[in-house]
Amino acid sequence: MINYDFSGRAAVVTGSGGGMGLALAQAILKAGGQVVMIDVKPKPDGIADSPRCIYAQGDLTDAKFVSNTIDSAFKKFGRIDYLANVAGVLWFGKDVSLLDIDLDLWDQVMNINLKSMVHTIRAAVPHMRKSGGGAMVHFSTIQCLRGDSKPQDAYVAGKAGVSAISKSIAMQLAAEGIRSNTIYPGVTHTPMQARWDSDEKLQQVADYVPMRRIGTPDDLANAAMFLLSDGASYITGADLIVDGGLMLKY
């Protein structure tokens, strides 16, 4: 196990009401960091009130809410060093082929999965500049790297845009010591995957992965911790696939 020291550093983590975002926020806190956790969901159990942690419940598509939340965190912590965009929605049964999808739903998915990232970056970067640099990690999906017989086109289009924005902002901010990288999760057991509701289904999914197991939120949090840490100080504009080898099958 790698031990990180994030003491004296402050992070913004979206989608931290559960799953990968929650695991990452907890990892940063365990490493001594300070975190503002943002999610539309209520504060999860196990997150105790602490001077090092702010939980902000609200809508990431609301630019004013995002800006006010991150500004308040900067005032409380005195700095913003990290931004992790983990939030996203995957609406099975409604997010379908672009040939059939309701376009209002398309816009809603794009606002949550992609435009919210614009809000958080615009709000966090001025504070990173004041803090002398920083690092960002944005969560995409391996699904946007290939086609799918059961398409979720709004989801994959938005998540493909995540990497494009990450690379663009990485180039723009590299000389200022602000890094930006993208993680592509494979199949991961989070509340988003409620459809895997039996041991049999979980085993079927695990058997399809070359490493013969489903990813955990901690697997993805560990990858994000590395990319945020000083150990990745010469890495920016990169894409990291964390999928147990699943993309090797395509």
- Please give the Cα distance from 110 to 106 (Å, whole number): 6
- Please give the Cα distance from 147 to 61 (Å, whole number): 27
Q: Please, how many CA atoms are within 13 Å of residue 220, restricted to the half-sphere of its CB?
A: 33
With 0-12 CB in 10 A as exposed, 13-18 as middle and 19+ as buried, what is 191? exposed
Residues 65-72: contacts with CB under 8 Å, at least 24 apart: 66/38, 66/116, 66/119, 66/120, 66/123, 67/119, 67/122, 67/123, 69/36, 69/38, 69/123, 70/12, 70/36, 70/120, 70/123, 70/124, 70/127, 71/123, 71/127, 72/36
| Residues annotated catalytic, as ranges | 155
In Å, the largest CA–CA distance within the chain is: 51
Scan for tokens 């057991």, then name that residue. Answer: 189
Sign of the alpha-carbon torsion through 154, 160, 164, 170:
positive
Strands (DSSP E) found in 41-110: 53-57, 82-85
